[in-house]
Structure 1
Amino acid sequence: MSKPKSSARGPSLPQQAIEAALADKTGNPLRRALWLDALDRQLRPHLPPSLAGHCRLANVKDEQLVFLVDSPVWHAKLRLAEQQLLVAARSVGLKVTRVTPKTTTTSLHSPMPKNPGQSKPVSAATHKGLREALASLQDIESSGASKTRR
């Protein structure tokens, strides 16, 4: 058997898939989504920390920044931070004149943890409940097995 070829051969398979997706006009929506995500990451640090976790840049349309917020309270707070956002957006080359907040009922951010290797500690009550549930399942399984032996 021969050794696998080195990385000098070219990009990895996932990279080839991304390049293929972005290769022609069909990649425009993906390119725009990536651009909006990068812009969101640039603008969000200019928001008050309490607000930053409750809003997300959704679009840049005409001369407006469209942000999604997760409740009417954050809608009002985003309005108060409008000038900060406009200054920050202009500093990266956007010609925007207003911020339009829109309230949504869906989650704005991925439910995945930021540090997947670090999970939250489980309480003693949760451990106890899991042990009891496992024990009851084992009891059901063992009683079912004894019935089939008869």
Structure 2
Amino acid sequence: MLNIDEIRQLIKLIDESSINEFTYENEGSKVELKKNAGGSVQMVQQVPAAPVQAPAAQAAQQQQAPVQEAPAKEEKDNGNLHKITSPMVGTFYASSSPEADPYVTVGSKVTESSVVCIVEAMKLFNEIEAEVKGEIVEVLVENGQLVEYGQPLFLVKAE
């Protein structure tokens, strides 16, 4: 899902372009942006949707301003990997403060009680524990990104 800064960038790009409607679908979520008669852009809805085969972000590529796209990830066999998921809706933080090192990175060894990140919800900072012993093989979200309930945050190769 897009974070708030990416949505703001999209709104600005659409506002400055001749595009009247824009739809983005990813990982079961859908964001629709439409220009109203006055020319300003408003977000129409952000609801769960069926997964899509091709990214709807292609419309943003037609604009003059450069749009950065995340590199495509290869499909992995995640059957033997444990997913650490978000227990709530909130903001993901990889460290306890902006100056601090992340709790874990790819290759970090964790135990069941290791804190791997913080999810902030309603001004409460909730430490998320690994709940499994193993090694972090992938970080699935970025620092400051909004996360949903049940959204995978990390992949761990369990021991």
TM-score with structure 1 length normalisation?
A: 0.26
Relative to its length, the structure with more helix (as a share) is 1
Relative to its length, the structure with more strand (as a share) is 2
With CA pairs under 8 Å and 6+ residues apart, which has the higher RCO, 1 or 2? Answer: 2
TM-score with structure 2 length normalisation?
A: 0.25
